[in-house]
Amino acid sequence: MSKQINVGGVTLGGGAPVRVQSMTTTHTADVEATSAQIARLAEAGCEIVRVAVRDEADARAVRAVKDRTPLPVVADIHFSAKLAVLSVENGADKIRINPGNIGGEEKVTLVADCVRAHRVPVRVGANTGSIEREYFEKYGRSARALVESALHGVSLLERHGVERIAISVKASSVPLTVEAYRLLAARTEYPLHVGVTEAGTRESGIVKSSVGIGALLLDGIGDTIRVSLTDDPVEEVYAAKRILRACGLEKEFVDVISCPTCGRCEWESMRLAQEVERLTFGAKVRRKIAVMGCAVNGPGEAKDCDLGIAGGRENCVIFKKGEIVRSVPREDAEDVFLREVRACLEEG
C-alpha cells in the first residue's frame, strides 16, 4: 500500500479511495472564470483541481480562487522556484513541479523549505518531454528513463526532508505509460498520480485514458487519476468517474446497462438509455437499471437489475429483478419508465 498524503483535507494513497482530478483551462489570474470552471468541475465529481501558474499574477490569484472553492487547489509550475513559493504562500494545497528543472540546488532548497514549513505536498511529474538529459542519454525515450528521472526529482526533495510527495510518469503512448507506472510502483511507496498525457480529443482521448488508467487501476496502481482531454475539463471528470466505475472502484452509483440493439429491436431504446444515464449519473446509490431493445431476451439478460424496460412492437414491459411488473403502451413507455427510475433512486 502506498503512503498517505493530505491535499487540502483530501487524503491521497494509503488505502484512500482513488481521487478524481482535473485541471482548469482558464487563466488563473482571471479569478471569476477560474472559480466558475472549478464549480462546474466540483459539481461533476472532481475532488482535486489543478491550476496553471505562469506568472506572479496567477500565483497571487491562488488565494482568491481558494476562497471561492471547497476543492483543494494544486498549483502547476514549470521552471520557477519563485512561483512555487509564491503559490504556497498564497494557499496552494499542493504544487506540481519538476525539481530537476527549477534552477539548481539553491532553488530546490528554497522550495523544499517552503513546502515543509507549510506542510504542502509536491507532485514530481516526469513526462516524456521533460526527461532529465542524463537519463535520456542513458535510456532514451523509455519507461526506465521516465522512472529514473522522476525518482531523481524525488531524491532532490528528500535530501531536504520533504516527505509529502506524489509522483507521475506520463507519456502520450499508452503502452509506455503503463510500463513506466508498473516500474515506478515497484520502486516507490509514494502515492501515484496516474494519467496518459496529451491523450487527444474527446473520443480517442477517452479510449487511450481508459485503457492506460484502467490497466493500471486493475493492477492496484494509482491513487489519483487525471484524464487529459482536448475538451471541456468537465468531460475529463465524467470520463474519470466512468473509468473508476468500470474498474469496480466506485460502488455507490447507478450502473445503466443497455443492449446494443439488433434486428429484433422494435423501438427507440437508444434515446431512453441516454436519458436514463443522464438522469442517474450523479446519484450516489447502488442500483442497476437496464434498457433493453426487446422483450424476447431483455428481461432474462438483465435479471439481476433492480429495474428495467424492454421494448415490444406495441407494448414495453417494465421488470424488477427479472420479474415483469407491468406492461405499458409504447407511446407512454418513456415517461412511465423515467418515473419508475426516479422512484427507484429514492427507495431506501
- Interacting residue ranges for ligand SF4, rule: CB under 6 A: 259-262, 264-265, 292-294, 296-298, 301
**Between 147 and 294, whose beta carbon lies closer to ligand SF4?**
294
**Between 172 and 297, whose beta carbon lies closer to ligand SF4?**
297
Shortest distance, position 306 Cβ to ligand SF4, whole Å: 18
Q: Contact, 2 vs 189, CB < 8 A?
A: yes
Shortest distance, position 288 Cβ to ligand SF4, whole Å: 16
**Between 218 and 296, whose beta carbon lies closer to ligand SF4?**
296
Nearest residue (beta carbon) to ligand SF4: 293
Give me the sign of the Cα torsion angle 195, 196, 197, 200.
negative
Q: Which residue has the cell 487525471?
A: 226
Write 242-246 long-range contacts (CB < 8 A, 24+).
242/210, 243/209, 243/210, 243/213, 243/214, 243/217, 244/18, 244/20, 244/217, 246/210, 246/214
**Between 195 and 298, whose beta carbon lies closer to ligand SF4?**
298
Q: Contact, 159 vs 116, CB < 8 A?
A: no
Shortest distance, position 256 Cβ to ligand SF4, whole Å: 14
User: Cα torsion at 116, 9, 188, 177 (round to 10°)?
Assistant: -120
Shortest distance, position 298 Cβ to ligand SF4, whole Å: 5
Shortest distance, position 265 Cβ to ligand SF4, whole Å: 4
Q: Contact, 98 vs 151, CB < 8 A?
A: no
Tell me 18's DSSP state.
P
Report CA Rg, the chain.
23
Shortest distance, position 202 Cβ to ligand SF4, whole Å: 26
**Between 23 and 290, whose beta carbon lies closer to ligand SF4?**
290
Q: Contact, 10 vs 48, CB < 8 A?
A: yes
**Between 13 and 308, whose beta carbon lies closer to ligand SF4?**
308
